[in-house]
Structure 1
Amino acid sequence: MSYEVPGAGALENVPCRYGDSRLMVRGPQRPLDAPYVAFLGSSDTYGKFVDRPFPALAEIALGLPCVNLGCLNAGVDAFAQDAEIMRIAAAAKGVVVQVSGAQNLSNRFYRVHPRRNDRFLEATPLLDAIYPEVDFTDFHFNKHMLYTLYTLSPRRFDALRQELQAVWVARMRLVLRQCGSRAVVLWLRYRDETGPLGADPLMVTRDMLEQLKPDVGKILEIPVTAAGRCGDMPQMRFGAMQAPAAELAIGPTAHAQIAERVVEALPQVH
């Protein structure tokens, strides 16, 4: 099966909102009154810098509406806490759930923004006790905070890592159990290491995915390379100020490859 890699056509990148959901997801809005496939995920599923992200390409191949519920910078919390999004996923003929990093979850050590899960809100007294020398008002993003804490003390950081990984498994189970055995978990593994915490999705391990197997139909692991390293930038849409973010995102070639693999993993919806 082959997919055309779109060029500089019209960019269907206007966000939309379904029903009572507070999440802004990738448009255009798709009908929900006929069989459809739902895609839950973060920025890769949304596909900010590409004309047709993999849910749109899968829609062409499947001949079914594919509802792109990708939300920029969302983590598992954004979906688990949104009743309308979970209702749409539960009613779908098939569901694809992209793996997001473990850093973007509220936990015993810190709270994140309920929708923009990459945003750090506040530390709890427990985290203040572990890192008394840190002024947490200096941080706005989880990743920046966690890199700083790891640099200060890898030993103390182990408690955060274990907490985040345990919470990630629990929240993913919560989402997947509402989707049922029709769900495909999509693990996009970035080939390039990004720092001491590893490659995206941060702190997610194979063992964590193994723990999800009783609650999922299939786990689909796909290695991907950021657009800045594979020559996809000329086929993407971004302004001058967005170039650094576009370099780290996946481009149209990767989206086409992901769509092909996803379609193969969803035979029950053909």
Structure 2
Amino acid sequence: MDYQTHTLKNSEIGFRGPKIASLKKSEYFVCVGAAQTFGCFCEKPYPTLLQEKLQKPVLNFGVGGAGPSFFLLHDELLKYINNAKFVIVQVMSGRSENNALFNTLAGAGGILTKNSDGSMTTADDAYHHLLESEFRKWHLPFRKTIGLLGQKKAKKIVAESRSNWVNNYKKLLTEIKVPKILFWFSKRKPDYKEKYTDVNKLFGEFPQLVNKQMVEQIKQFSDKYVECISYQGSPQLLSSRFTGKPITIDNSKIHKIFTSKFTHNSYYPSPEMNEDAAKLLEPICQKFL
């Protein structure tokens, strides 16, 4: 898929296009978020659909793996955000936050650096090993005890990541001076109960690690809050834009640390989910035009 990526003045980040003609004050709106806002495997993500519905250009500031800290680190983007008519801020993942064990790659990218030795790993692998602990060689009774200790340590790390996430969202939303819509876009409701038995039950569906309590803490820093909970059209069969035939995506071509291959998109929002998002957002956006 051709995402028509482009850069902006004073920024080296590649944003999804098409590039808009004018950046005059209040003549466009901005969508801030992660890959769900970028629109992976989607010809028309919700920012583009809203652009068509509202007849107003959009800057799509969706960056894969981003959390709130990414946009605080790249403060050159704030001038574009605060020059807009209004801003939609996606509720992003909590696994993109720094903590005592891991450091994210510039606040985005889905890759963590271990503070202990500087090696890189995925968030899934990092938290999986944290839960399992490093003492897998021991017999079951002792491994069970060590596993409980690992869960205790994991709870401390998760609490730290969540606290950093909330604080960074408060900072980001405070820095945004124009009207802002906080946007929950997921297959699940914010209210979920994590389990420390495996990484998937700990994270939950995107946005990973984020629960209702966290959302409630940051909602007051936005002007409006919108929830879109949808799984329409997921999983999405992936096909070539040239031939129309089914294709296989090899994630190792992005970075050797990723090993998955897939023929269906079951993670990122499908085109139908993006349509649901745009329908819910449109009437709220109209209030700020």
Q: TM-score, normalised by structure 2?
A: 0.77
Unaligned runs of 5+ in 1: 1-10, 125-134
Paired residue for 1:149?
130
Q: In 2 relative to 1, CA 93–141 (structure 1 residues): closer, same or farther, beyond 3 Å?
A: same
Q: After the TM superposition, which residues 177-256 of structure 1 pair with which residues of structure 2 at under 5 Å, given as runs?
A: 177-180=174-177, 182-191=179-188, 195-197=200-202, 198-225=204-231, 227-229=233-235, 232-233=236-237, 239-241=247-249, 243=262, 246-256=265-275
Alignment partners' CA distance in 2, 1:254 and 1:241: 21
Residue 142 of structure 1, CA deviation:
1.9
**Could you say what secondary structure the match of 2:61 adopts?**
strand
Q: Please point out which of 16, 37, 47 is paired with 1:26.
A: 16
Residue 122 of structure 1, CA deviation:
2.5
Q: Note the aligned Cα RMSD (angstroms).
A: 2.5
Alignment partners' CA distance in 2, 1:107 and 1:245: 33
Number of aligned residue pairs: 247
Paired residue for 1:174?
171
Paired residue for 2:279?
260
Paired residue for 2:288?
269
Residue 66 of structure 1, CA deviation:
1.2
Paired residue for 1:158?
155
Residue 40 of structure 1, CA deviation:
0.5
Alignment partners' CA distance in 2, 1:163 and 1:115: 15
Deviations 1:57-102 (A, max 9, x none): 0001111111111112222222111122121111111100111111
Paired residue for 2:6?
16
Alignment partners' CA distance in 2, 1:245 and 1:101: 22
Q: Is the 8 A contact 2:182 2:224 kept in 1?
A: yes
Q: TM-score, normalised by structure 1?
A: 0.82
In the alignment, structure 1 residue 93 sits paired with structure 2 residue 90: no
Q: Is the 8 A contact 1:25 1:71 kept in 2?
A: yes
Unaligned runs of 5+ in 2: 134-149, 193-198, 251-261
Residue 117 of structure 1, CA deviation:
3.8
**Could you say what secondary structure the match of 1:96 adopts?**
strand
Residue 216 of structure 1, CA deviation:
0.6
Alignment partners' CA distance in 2, 1:98 and 1:143: 22
**Could you say what secondary structure the match of 2:225 adopts?**
strand
Q: Which range moves more in the overlay, 25-34 or 203-212?
A: 25-34
Alignment partners' CA distance in 1, 2:218 and 2:35: 22
Identity %: 20
Q: Is the 8 A contact 2:186 2:228 kept in 1?
A: yes
Residue 111 of structure 1, CA deviation:
1.2
Q: In 2 relative to 1, CA 181–92 (structure 1 residues): closer, same or farther, beyond 3 Å?
A: closer
Alignment partners' CA distance in 1, 2:65 and 2:275: 21
Q: Is the 8 A contact 1:21 1:83 kept in 2?
A: no
Deviations 1:18-66 (A, max 9, x none): 1112322211112312511100111110112111111000001111111
**Larger RCO (CA within 8 A; separation ≥ 6):** 1
**Could you say what secondary structure the match of 1:100 adopts?**
coil
Q: After the TM superposition, which residues 37-76 of structure 1 pair with which residues of structure 2 at under 5 Å, given as runs?
A: 37-76=29-68
User: Could you tell me which amino acid in structure 1 is paired with residue 32 of structure 2?
Assistant: L
**Could you say what secondary structure the match of 1:266 adopts?**
helix
Residue 241 of structure 1, CA deviation:
2.0
